[in-house]
């Protein structure tokens, strides 16, 4: 719908529905524990240009929601200025240090959205200016904000874009899905009825600040109290932890020297997840045998020891599941993966890991239905703003199957991290640790075992005789020829 500009009374009705649905979604954030108060339709001049103000811990979020820009179907800086969005933001941000401002629309708000994204990834204003302002369009837009619209210093403009200005582009269809998933996760009763109850509360309580306690009391009076998970055999947090621990145990045989080689990609993923506003999706790619699963395992190990809740889905372990409910049954979850992870991550953040997405590619033997089911799993998770999806997929499958690319990163904006072959120094270190003299191997052999899988074959078969291998198949046969390997594999 966002690609077609609407006009007249129909446009006003759809716009009103969109604004209200976004408000209801933020009210659900109060039920989930991510926010604690909201003022709907703030009265007087303080509320000009904003639909509501939401309280989260020590910050107050001012939300300006506009369904679409009927003129050009996108929000350029000029259009945002013409609609007083930039001026309204300036007034709030300059007057209160705890204020943040959100612009929400079904139409793109580039380049402002790209400036915010890139500012959030930059460790300093110098890095932002020299590295991430990579096009003339972005440089021009940043300079316009700095010198014309906000009249701030370069550093202040960068800090506002990084920490205090946020842009959310979301289609009405996706917003509706998020609302349904949120109601299903956090409220008891049938989701559509719960949403109607939220809508009635929103319309009955304008102008005054509503606390999370008051909201929950109003929902309870209408028959839709917060969902209680204590009446099930395994809590969502326990279930996702158990599933992720099983995944790690399954990856253990892939380790080299019984440990995980340090990989820079693990630190890169951690940096993205530890950002103030982690991306909704991260894509991990690499060629066969390059160690994507071990990178994923290291990330899972980190999340298990952090405040994050992590749920892993290994596609190679799935076969003919035909719904998200059947996937949850296979994983031993109390509800669908998206609902379970969101409930486990209530008041915090959650990570869904899908390893080996290429297993459901067009060149594999998995049923087509399984790909569609995984798509449903991802869509459920993306309906929750506090959840991130981390997907690993072979580079060659990603390049040949557009369906995988679309499922993995949706809008093609997910940060993509490539897992390369090992460096020569990593290979030498691993060989030395395994008591193998690197000088026993020629240059071609050392190049061959830069692929982690092949290096593991060699190290685990180091007692199998002279190092006379020349191909990957030689290494496989050497490894499989060890006593007991055939039985274990």
What pLDDT is attached to residue 70?
A: 72
Edge-to-edge strand ranges of the sheet holding 387-394: 309-314, 350-355, 387-394, 281-286, 416-419
Determine how β-strand 52-56 pairs with β-strand 59-65.
antiparallel
CA distance 239 to 301: 16
What pLDDT is attached to residue 255?
A: 75
Edge-to-edge strand ranges of the sheet holding 52-56: 165-169, 99-105, 59-65, 52-56, 37-40, 209-211
Name the 3-class secondary structure at 180. helix
Q: 4: pLDDT confidence band, cut at 50, 70 and 90? A: very low
Mean pLDDT of 21-26: 97
Average per-residue pLDDT in the chain?
A: 89
DSSP class of residue 131 equals: I
CA distance 146 to 133: 14
393: left (phi over 0), alpha (psi -120 to 50) or beta: beta
Summarised one tens digit per residue, pLDDT across range 319-355 is 889 999 999 999 989 999 999 999 999 889 999 999 9
What pLDDT is attached to residue 260?
A: 57
Smallest CA-to-CA distance from 335 within 237, 223, 245 is with 237
Smallest CA-to-CA distance from 254 within 166, 314, 206 is with 314
CA distance 319 to 261: 31
Element containing residue 309 per DSSP (H, E): strand 309-314
Tracing tokens 């869904």 back to the chain, one arrives at: 352
Summarised one tens digit per residue, pLDDT across range 235-260 is 899 999 999 999 988 887 777 765 65
The DSSP string of 98-126 is TEEEEEEESSB-TTHHHHHHHHHH-SSHH
Smallest CA-to-CA distance from 38 within 165, 175, 198 is with 198
Domain ranges within the chain, ordered by starting residue: 8-172, 236-419, 424-488
Burial class (CB in 10 A: 0-12, 13-18, 19+), 156: middle
Quick check: 159 and 145 in contact, CB under 8 A?
no
Question: Higher-confidence residue: 45 or 447?
Answer: 447
CA distance 174 to 402: 21
Tokens at 167, concatenated? 């842009």
What pLDDT is attached to residue 484?
A: 45
CA distance 284 to 469: 31
Tokens at 475, concatenated? 């290494």
Tokens at 258, concatenated? 């019984």
Asked whether the CA dihedral 40, 54, 51, 42 is positive or negative, the reply is positive
Q: 489: pLDDT confidence band, cut at 50, 70 and 90? A: very low
Determine how β-strand 416-419 pairs with β-strand 281-286.
parallel
Q: 486: pLDDT confidence band, cut at 50, 70 and 90? A: very low
DSSP class of residue 211 equals: E
CA distance 18 to 15: 5
Quick check: 458 and 434 in contact, CB under 8 A?
no
Task: Give how far Cα 394 sits from Cα of 118, 192, 344, 372, Å.
Answer: 27, 40, 30, 19
- CATH architecture type of domain 236-419: 3-Layer(aba) Sandwich (3.40)
Quick check: 430 and 256 in contact, CB under 8 A?
yes
Quick check: 338 and 384 in contact, CB under 8 A?
yes
């Amino acid at each position: 719908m966002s690609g077609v500009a609407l006009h007249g009374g129909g446009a006003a009705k759809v716009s009103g529905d969109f604004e209200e649905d976004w408000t209801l979604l933020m009210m659900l954030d109060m039920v989930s524990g991510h926010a604690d108060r909201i003022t709907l339709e703030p009265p007087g001049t303080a509320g000009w240009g904003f639909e509501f103000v939401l309280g989260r811990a020590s910050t107050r979020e001012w939300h300006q929601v506009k369904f679409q820009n009927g003129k050009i179907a996108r929000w350029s800086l000029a259009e945002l200025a013409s609609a007083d969005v930039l001026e309204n933001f300036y007034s709030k941000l300059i007057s209160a240090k705890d204020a943040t401002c959100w612009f929400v629309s079904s139409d793109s708000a580039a380049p402002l959205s790209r400036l915010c994204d890139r500012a959030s990834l930059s460790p300093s204003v110098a890095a932002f200016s020299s590295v991430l302002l990579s096009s003339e369009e972005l440089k021009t837009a940043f300079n316009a904000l700095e010198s014309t619209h906000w009249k701030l210093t370069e550093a202040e403009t960068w800090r506002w874009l990084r920490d205090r200005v946020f842009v959310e582009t979301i289609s009405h269809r996706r917003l509706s899905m998020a609302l349904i998933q949120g109601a299903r996760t956090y409220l008891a009763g049938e989701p559509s009825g719960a949403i109607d109850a939220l809508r009635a509360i929103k319309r009955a309580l304008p102008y005054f600040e509503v606390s999370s306690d008051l909201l929950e009391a109003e929902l309870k009076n209408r028959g839709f109290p917060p969902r209680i998970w204590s009446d099930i055999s395994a809590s969502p947090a326990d279930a996702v932890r158990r599933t992720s621990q099983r995944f790690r145990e399954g990856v253990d045989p892939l380790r080299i020297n019984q440990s995980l080689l340090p990989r820079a990609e693990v630190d890169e993923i951690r940096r993205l997840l530890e950002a103030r506003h982690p991306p909704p999706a991260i894509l991990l790619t690499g060629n066969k045998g390059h160690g994507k699963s071990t990178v994923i395992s290291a990330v899972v190990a980190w999340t298990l020891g952090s405040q994050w809740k992590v749920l892993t889905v290994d596609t190679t372990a799935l076969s003919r599941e035909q719904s998200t409910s059947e996937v949850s049954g296979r994983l031993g979850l109390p509800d669908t993966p998206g609902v379970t992870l969101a409930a486990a991550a209530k008041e915090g953040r959650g990570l869904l890991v899908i390893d080996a997405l290429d297993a459901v590619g067009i060149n594999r033997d998995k049923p087509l239905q399984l790909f569609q089911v995984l798509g449903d799993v991802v869509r459920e998770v993306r309906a929750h703003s506090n959840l991130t999806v981390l997907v690993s997929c072979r580079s060659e499958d990603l390049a040949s199957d557009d369906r995988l690319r679309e499922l993995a990163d949706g809008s093609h904006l997910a940060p993509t991290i490539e897992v390369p072959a090992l460096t020569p120094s990593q290979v030498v270190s691993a060989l030395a640790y395994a008591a193998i003299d690197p000088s026993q191997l020629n240059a071609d052999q050392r190049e061959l075992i830069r692929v982690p899988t092949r290096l593991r074959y060699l190290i685990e078969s180091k007692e199998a005789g002279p190092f006379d291998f020349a191909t990957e198949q030689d290494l496989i046969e050497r490894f499989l020829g060890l006593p007991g390997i055939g039985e274990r594999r």
